[in-house]
């Protein structure tokens, strides 16, 4: 049974250094040749302090969490049954560009929890896991929303 009382609660936090080499590795992995991810001088010419973090780079933030299986632990904490649950979507909302050399702090928690009737009958419970990412000045930089759905 999903614990709806955990909606909009913070569960933990972690720090994440944004490193130039990791950005380059990530850009290589996604086959993006854009020099803004590799060349500091080029990035500075474009108005950034250092190489820019690719928009899908936040998926690597999970590597800096203390957990080996973050999603499974979050599911257990809220009472989701992994056998009845699927990942619905991931949304990343950027409040500003992020560059190499920054250290970000992330708050992890549950966002909205709501129910809908399924098209094939039964109830679907939606659980939003939110990661709010802040810069060194405590300004919001990125919000990552992972939607998980449990069918009953």
- Taking only the tens place, the pLDDT of each residue in 82-118 is 889 999 999 999 999 999 999 999 999 999 999 999 8
Q: How far is CA 15 from CA 4, 81, 84, in A?
A: 27, 29, 32
Q: Is residue 111 part of a domain?
A: yes
pTM of the model: 0.87
Q: Is residue 122 part of a domain?
A: yes
Q: What would the mean pLDDT of 50-68 be, rounded to a whole number?
A: 81
- Cα(first)–Cα(last) distance of the chain, in Å? 10
Sign of the four-CA dihedral 7, 79, 84, 90: positive
What gap in Å lies between CA 85 and CA 30, rounded to an integer? 28
pLDDT for 113 equals: 96
Number of domains in the chain: 1
Write out the residue range of the structural domain in which residue 122 sits. Answer: 4-18+57-151
Q: How confident is the model at residue 67 (pLDDT cuts 50, 70, 90)?
A: low
Q: Is residue 33 part of a domain?
A: no
pLDDT digits (tens, 9 = 90+) for 28-46: 999 999 999 999 999 999 9
Q: Is residue 69 part of a domain?
A: yes
| E strand intervals along the chain | 9-17, 85-94, 103-117, 123-134, 140-151
CB neighbours (10 Å) of residue 62? 19
Residue 63 has pLDDT above 90, yes or no: no
Question: What are the start-end ranges of the H helices in the chain?
Answer: 20-29, 40-45, 70-78
Residues in contact with 25: Cβ distance below 8 Å, sequence separation at least 6, in sequence order: none
pLDDT for 64 equals: 61
Q: What percent of the chain has pLDDT over 90?
A: 74
Q: What would the mean pLDDT of 11-39 be, rounded to a whole number?
A: 94
**Residue 64: which CATH number?**
3.10.129.10
């Amino acid at each position: 049974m999903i614990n709806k009382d955990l909606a909009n609660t913070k569960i933990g936090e972690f720090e994440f250094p944004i490193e130039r080499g990791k950005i380059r590795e990530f850009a290589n992995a996604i086959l993006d040749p854009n020099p803004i991810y590799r060349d500091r001088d080029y990035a500075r010419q474009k108005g950034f302090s250092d190489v820019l973090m690719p928009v899908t780079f936040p998926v690597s933030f999970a590597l800096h969490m203390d957990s080996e299986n973050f999603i499974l632990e979050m599911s257990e904490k809220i009472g989701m049954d992994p056998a009845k649950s699927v990942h619905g979507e991931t949304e990343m909302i950027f409040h500003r560009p992020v560059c190499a050399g920054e250290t970000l702090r992330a708050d992890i928690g549950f966002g909205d929890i709501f129910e809908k009737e399924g098209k094939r009958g039964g109830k679907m419970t939606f659980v939003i896991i939110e990661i709010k990412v802040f810069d060194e000045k405590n300004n919001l930089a990125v919000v990552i929303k992972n939607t998980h759905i449990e069918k009953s």
